[in-house]
Structure 1
Amino acid sequence: MNALAVLRAEWTKFRTAPGMAWLLVGVAVATAGLSAWASGVSGGAVPDPVRVSLTGVMFGQAVVAIVAVLPVGDEYASGMVRVSFAAVPRRWAVLGAKALVVGGAVAVAAVPGVLVSLWAGQRWLSGYAGGLWRPGVGALLYLVLVGLLSVGVAAVLRNSAAAIGAVLGLLFAFPLMALSVPDPDWRRHIEQVGPMSAGMSVLATRGLDELPIAPWRGLGVLAAWALGFLLVGVLLTERRDS
């Protein structure tokens, strides 16, 4: 089976999975809904209105984790993964196709969520200026990378519930650790290596010198986490019996 056929097969499995379409709608609704709420209740004047208007990305990523984990975890749970590997002996190709499908689907779902978030910020927050392309594109890429990270974690754990818990734990563990560390230098280092604390820096438009890490570099940290888990997932998938 060639690469295009593998990709088509994974897309068919993804789009026909029960409830997947609603979960993708949930990505957009969760992102836009919480962002609009944050913009509406903030009182108008905030230090970084663009970042506030993208608050929903933090909520939307939880739905993204579910969307990304289920195609891998459910296939292991049902035993259908054996059929997939029998049809495509190159197991890395199956996981790669899943990652591409998930990344594309999350990107499509995230676009309206991010656009509505930015629109709500412009409507309700004062001091909303230009330069929206970087936080807007960054928010979209952030959600896609969380999806790819989740695919990798699911490939490692092979269990949907465990993978969702692991992804959310990984995302929120570093900010919580940073809050508990009194030393400012150590706190900054923790925020620099955490996938969420570093990745979210791409949403900032003001006070960039005060960030623990530069915006694009922070998103690169999240990309490194995602790539790392995908590589480990590929390695384990190739070595396991099923």
Structure 2
Amino acid sequence: MAATQVIRSEWTKIRSVASTVWTLSLAVVVTVALGMLISALSKNETGRMGPRDRTVLDPTYVSFAGMTLGQLAMIVFGVLVVSNEYSTGMIRPSLAAVPRRGTFLFSKVAVAAGLALVVGMATSFAAFFLGQTVLGPLRTSLGDPGVLRAVIGGGLYMTLIAVFSMGVAAMLRSPMLSLGILMPFFFLVSNILGNVSATKKVGQFLPDQAGSRILQVVPRAGDDTPYGPWGGLGIMVLWVAASLAGAYALLRKRDA
């Protein structure tokens, strides 16, 4: 089967599974709604802020507060795209139709990543504009230094989270096992390692800790991270590449 036919087939699979559509929709709603809520709370706190607090406020990052939960939906999307075929047994006829494992895997990843990118960019821009509207006098604009980079980076970050999850799901093959590892990793282990002084130097190189640097415009006080926004995203790309390489290696070696 030609690569274009495989890509078309993968697009049909994703469109036909309601759960993947719902998870992407949830990513948009949660990210935007929570970002607006946190922006409203930040605006209400303005009167209690001293001059110094206002100078370190990052309006762009505030509007992205919902991405913490939005990435949860992107993780679920990435896992479902890959592991649905394993849980239903459809992986056998799929690999029979596309015996070239590399073509099968990377066509699936390319289609899902393209969809995640469109949704991620739309979510990032919507969260930014609506969040800045709510912030009112505290708002910033796309023309300010670093803001456009952060907004575009938000879309890229959400996409990379989804692709990383695809790689992990392809290695583990089980949706429950994949989610059982990814959820605690991103929402518990990573936060602990990134915020405890003894492990902070290790935690800052984890995919979400490094990648989320792209969302920040105003540096945090006392921040000694040894890389910048694009460097952090580059570290995340390396994690994604490693997960896909592992997925490809295992897919070649084992039966469906």
Residue by residue, what CA displacement relative to the aligned partner does 1:136-182 show, whole Å, maximum 9, x if unpaired? 11000001101110110000100112112222233232221233x33
The separation in 1 between residues aligned to 2:212 and 2:76, in whole angstroms, is 19
Shift in Å, 1:124? 2.8
* TM-score for the superposition, normalised by structure 2: 0.87
The separation in 2 between residues aligned to 1:127 and 1:64, in whole angstroms, is 27
For the structure 1 residues 229 and 201, does the alpha-carbon distance in structure 2 shift closer, same or farther, using more than 3 Å as the test? same
Task: Show the 5 A alignment for 1:158-173.
Answer: 158-172=173-187, 173=189
The separation in 2 between residues aligned to 1:124 and 1:14, in whole angstroms, is 35
Task: Find the residue that maps to 2:18 and give its secondary structure.
Answer: coil
What residue ranges of structure 2 are gaps of 5+ in the alignment? Answer: 47-53
Residue 205 of structure 2: aligned partner? 193
Residue by residue, what CA displacement relative to the aligned partner does 1:39-77 show, whole Å, maximum 9, x if unpaired? 111134562111111111111110001111112111001
Shift in Å, 1:97? 1.1
Contact map agreement 2:157 2:212 (CA 8 A) in 1: yes
Contact map agreement 1:170 1:195 (CA 8 A) in 2: no
Contact map agreement 2:82 2:166 (CA 8 A) in 1: yes
The separation in 2 between residues aligned to 1:18 and 1:49, in whole angstroms, is 35
Residue by residue, what CA displacement relative to the aligned partner does 1:5-38 show, whole Å, maximum 9, x if unpaired? 1111111011101232222211111111111111
Shift in Å, 1:211? 5.3
Residue by residue, what CA displacement relative to the aligned partner does 1:174-227 show, whole Å, maximum 9, x if unpaired? 221233x334xx52x223311111111001111278252311111111111111
Pairwise CA RMSD: 1.7
Identify which range, 134-143 or 98-107, moves more after superposition: 98-107
Residue 193 of structure 2: aligned partner? 177
What residue ranges of structure 1 are gaps of 5+ in the alignment? Answer: none
Contact map agreement 1:201 1:214 (CA 8 A) in 2: yes
Correspondence 1:91 to 2:101 = yes
Residue 11 of structure 1: aligned partner? 11
Residue of 48, 59, 62 corresponding to 2:72? 62
The separation in 2 between residues aligned to 1:233 and 1:169, in whole angstroms, is 21
Task: Show the 5 A alignment for 1:110-121.
Answer: 110-121=120-131
Residue 156 of structure 2: aligned partner? 141
The separation in 2 between residues aligned to 1:140 and 1:111, in whole angstroms, is 4
Correspondence 1:210 to 2:223 = yes
* TM-score for the superposition, normalised by structure 1: 0.92
Contact map agreement 1:152 1:226 (CA 8 A) in 2: yes
For the structure 1 residues 217 and 154, does the alpha-carbon distance in structure 2 shift closer, same or farther, using more than 3 Å as the test? same
Contact map agreement 1:171 1:194 (CA 8 A) in 2: no
Segments of 4+ in structure 1 off by > 3 A? none
Q: Which amino acid is the alignment partner of residue 115 of structure 2?
A: A
The separation in 2 between residues aligned to 1:210 and 1:178, in whole angstroms, is 12
Contact map agreement 2:35 2:64 (CA 8 A) in 1: yes
Q: Which amino acid is the alignment partner of residue 86 of structure 1?
A: A
Contact map agreement 1:69 1:164 (CA 8 A) in 2: yes
Contact map agreement 2:123 2:155 (CA 8 A) in 1: no
Q: Which amino acid is the alignment partner of residue 177 of structure 1?
A: L
Report % sequence identity.
32
- Name the count of aligned residue pairs: 238
For the structure 1 residues 211 and 7, does the alpha-carbon distance in structure 2 shift closer, same or farther, using more than 3 Å as the test? farther
Q: Which has the larger radius of gyration?
A: 2
